[in-house]
Amino acid sequence: MSRILFQINYDVHPEKRDDYLAAAKELEAYIRSKTDHNYMVVEDKNKANSFTEVYILKDEAEFEGLEDEMDDTIYGLTTKILSQYVVDGKTRYYTYYEID
């Protein structure tokens, strides 16, 4: 089965960067401690305040189960990030499948 790379891209208000980073680090630590997902948050080297949440998932079943694993903490932190820090609340989603 092919692994899946799932990305969520967004830009953060520059004046809210520090608060965003604290929330993103909290979300990343929580996801790593409570799930088996390979997850990280990265910043675009060439565009300040442009961030991507990256999941590397082992198969389609893990990808399909992402929303089912969203508990109150993950939901709350995600909602906080999108509503308070992301420019216009706009996100871009990308899904890539590993070639066999």
Helices (H) and strands (E) in the chain, counts: 3, 4
Domain boundaries, position 14: 4-97
Which residues of the chain, if any, have pLDDT below 50? none
- Strand locations in the chain, DSSP E? 4-11, 38-43, 50-57, 92-97
Q: How far apart are CA 12 and CA 49, in angstroms?
A: 5
Count of domains observed in the chain: 1
pLDDT computed for residue 69 by the predictor:
85
Q: Which H or E run includes 22?
A: helix 17-34
pLDDT computed for residue 40 by the predictor:
96
Q: How far apart are CA 44 and CA 94, in angstroms?
A: 15
CATH at 62: 3.30.70.100
The residues with which 12 forms a beta bridge, in sequence order, are 86
Kindly report the pTM of this predicted structure.
0.91
